[in-house]
Amino acid sequence: MKKFLSYFVVGVLILTLAGGSAFSAESNSSNASKYSHGNYFPIASPLDVIKELRDQIAKLPDNAFIDVKKTKHSKSHLDKKLEDIIKKLKDGNYESARKYLSENFKKDMEKSIVLQEHALLLAKIDTILVSIEHACETTVKISSGKVAGLSLEPDCWTWVGIPYAKPPVGKLRWKAPREPKPWKGIRFSTFDLSRSIQNEQTLYWSPTGQVIGSEDCLYLNVCRPKTKEKNLPVYFWIHGGGNVTGGAEDFFFAQFLAQKYNVVVVVVEYRLGAMGWLTHPALTSNGTVEDKSGNFGTLDIIKALKWVQGNIRQFGGNPKNVTVAGQSAGGTNVLSLMVSPLAKDLFHKAVVESSGLVNISVEKGVEKTNNIIDKLLVADNTCADLESAAAHRKIMTNKEIEAYLRSKSAVEITKAYPTSAEPIIDGNVITDTVASAFESGNYNKVPIIIGSNEDEYKPFLPLMIADFPTYTGHKWSDIQSVLGVNGKSMTLEEVMPADSQDRQFFELLAKYPSMNWKATMVDSLAGSLKKHQDDVYCYYFKWKGKGAKVPFDFLVGAGHSFELPFFFGWDKDLWNISYTEENEKGRIALQDAIMSYVSSFASTGNPNKGNSSLPNWEKWSNIPNEPKSIIFDADLNESKISMMNEEFKKEDIMMEVNNLTEWQKNVIFNIIWF
């Protein structure tokens, strides 16, 4: 048993060092297209495409110019003309810029550059002209200035990188978000804006050891159908990742959701980790009550919702019909909004997918901050070890601690931060635990969809206990080789033979913690909510990927985050391994059904509205043996949707666990998170 626990601790340490969370659903790669239906990445803004043209011309060799002796002059001349076009664009003079590019610049380019080079340069000019047209069609005026969008196929407009608050840097680090600085001229959509600073993870949730992102991260994206329709419902998405990883760019391809739901989608970037949730007496010497709360990430999301209230009409959205939705830690943040008095009346419905964190006390938050300070003191060689660092910290004044923390770079602080960031019960932004607030009825009451997946824990087991040996001498981390996600190839029989106890043990480790997830984070909350409101809808996602070319159904199944493509309309799972031609018919039928339910809910607060061909999604009932959750599943050919009357209760699950062998029981208790 001790040997197993040592492997378990190593697995948790690996996750800690990565800054990755057991709740992280997203890759931190900038390649958002991994979730797309093919090549739907939009044409960039005219400024970005002009930059590409400038670089293209700058790299041309001397013999690409008709007068070789005037190469430098010709490049400078063309570059100056492109700079003039940029100025026209920034001033909103689209027609003047278009005419200057297609006539004046094009003529000068053809006169100075040899014919053989024209094709590529003319193609780039055509792209700029299309991009200018898109910018002209999508320019809208918001409270801070004018913004121009992009065309996102099929048939959507998108605006990327809109600031909803000042960059939280310098003196604004660990402060509530402030109003963004207004700008003159046109602000064009850009892909250069970084996600919040974080420890990087691979697509398969493994740490890379690198820190990516920036403190300057308070931006949001908007996506809507390419129609003239106004007063559309708003779907406000909060990404997951343990509140320490992930970003809005992972959900860039929201056009399928926007089209299917016929909504305006808003995807928000917010502060993560120590930049988003950090409390300590040393940081509360001045500022507003919100500045002293420690809940900066929560306040960012509230600020973005206020932005929606003031600006979403300009994009065709209805500020009086806003659904806040999130998955994993994003779902936790939705629950935090429901219990925050500051978020009252900013949203009207909620969707919570696999919420995986709970709010913590100020005391617990201070303890976490002290641990970070200790790690920093060791990292910069002020102290030799954590024990001496703790002793050193205890004699530091609050003024010294504040100066010390503010002297550290965001990278240094991020490396020292643990695996998840929980909202803090500060008494102002968040006044209670979610469970207590729901039980008492002291929360923002809105129609809600809340659910979890049958195999939540399965994707984490190869990471949590990576070095634990199997009976064949392999390691649990080799499960990733069976799935083919780490560049290696093994069979399940090699790692976990059918006649070994490994498979039974794997199922046990996934089963009970996953059941407890539903009991604690869905059923218990639903029971409390139902005491104060009627419109509570629960789901249980059970599609396991049967028909995949690898044993996905056994090793991952309905794992954490794998419901996301069914809600967003993607044609790939998160790891691109379970969707096959064999399971396509049933899978798409299930995806269409889920999206129909949620789109109706986002519009009306009732998932059954207009869905008479689908099974009726019953509201949660607190009466025993009456409807509780809708089951989302499919076989190879059709969706399998039905209501279940069973309620999962933590005490019943723990009773079953207590009947296991001593070492099985201890291991399960060690990996249950809440």
Q: Which residue has the tokens 């981390």?
A: 477
Domain assignment present for 36: no
Domain extent, residue 72, equals 46-138
Final residue before a domain boundary, out of 341, 361, 381: 361
Count other Cβ atoms within 10 Å, centred on residue 395. 7
Terminal CA-CA length for the chain: 22
DSSP 8-class letter at 194: P
Q: Is 613 in the active site?
A: no
Say what the pLDDT of residue 3 is.
Answer: 46
Q: Which residue has the tokens 């003196």?
A: 171
Question: Quick one: tokens of 602?
Answer: 């986002």
Final residue before a domain boundary, out of 361, 395, 416: 361
Q: What is the pTM of this model?
A: 0.93
Q: Is residue 463 packed enough to be buried (19+ CB in 10 Å), middle (13-18) or exposed (0-12)? A: buried
Domain assignment present for 192: yes
Concatenated DSSP letters of 429-484: S--S-HHHHHHHT-S----EEEEEETBTTGGGHHHHTTTPBPTTS-BGGGHHHHHT
Domain assignment present for 117: yes
Domain assignment present for 26: no
Could you give the number of structural domains in the chain?
Answer: 4
Q: What are the b/e assignments for 66-93, b being 16+ CB within 10 Å?
A: eeeeebeebbeebeebbebbbebbbebb
Say what the pLDDT of residue 472 is.
Answer: 87
Say yes or no: 344 and 370 in one domain: no
Say yes or no: 81 and 189 in one domain: no
Say yes or no: 547 and 412 in one domain: no
Say what the pLDDT of residue 418 is.
Answer: 78
Closest CA to 270 of 77, 380, 421, 82: 421
Task: Assign 3-state DSSP to the chain and report helix, strand, coil percentages, each to 5.
Answer: 45, 15, 40
Handedness of CA 41, 43, 48, 49 (dihedral sign): positive
Domain assignment present for 430: no
Say yes or no: 62 and 112 in one domain: yes
Q: Which distant-in-sequence residues (6+ apart) come within 8 Å of 14 by Cβ?
A: 207, 463, 466
Say yes or no: 303 and 289 in one domain: yes
Average pLDDT, consecutive stretches of 10 residues, N- to C-terminus, the chain (674 residues): 44 36 32 40 89 96 95 96 98 98 95 95 96 97 97 89 97 98 95 85 86 95 95 97 91 84 96 98 95 99 99 99 98 98 99 93 97 98 98 98 98 91 97 97 99 97 87 89 87 90 92 97 98 99 96 96 95 92 97 97 97 98 98 98 98 96 90 82
CATH of the domain at 177: 3.40.50.1820
Indicate the pairing of strand 156-163 with strand 317-327.
unpaired
| 475 residue type, one letter | K
- Secondary structure E strands in 174-282: 186-188, 198-201, 207-212, 219-225, 232-238, 264-268
* CB of 43 closer than 8 Å to CB of 151: yes
| 5 residue type, one letter | L
Say yes or no: 410 and 461 in one domain: no
Catalytic residue among 328, 481, 603, 629: 328
Taking each helix axis from N to C end, the angle separating 2-18 and 662-671, rounded to the nearest 10 degrees, works out to 10
Closest CA to 232 of 602, 609, 605: 602
Say yes or no: 303 and 270 in one domain: yes
Say yes or no: 442 and 501 in one domain: yes
Say yes or no: 515 and 608 in one domain: yes
Final residue before a domain boundary, out of 361, 396, 415: 361
Domain assignment present for 143: no
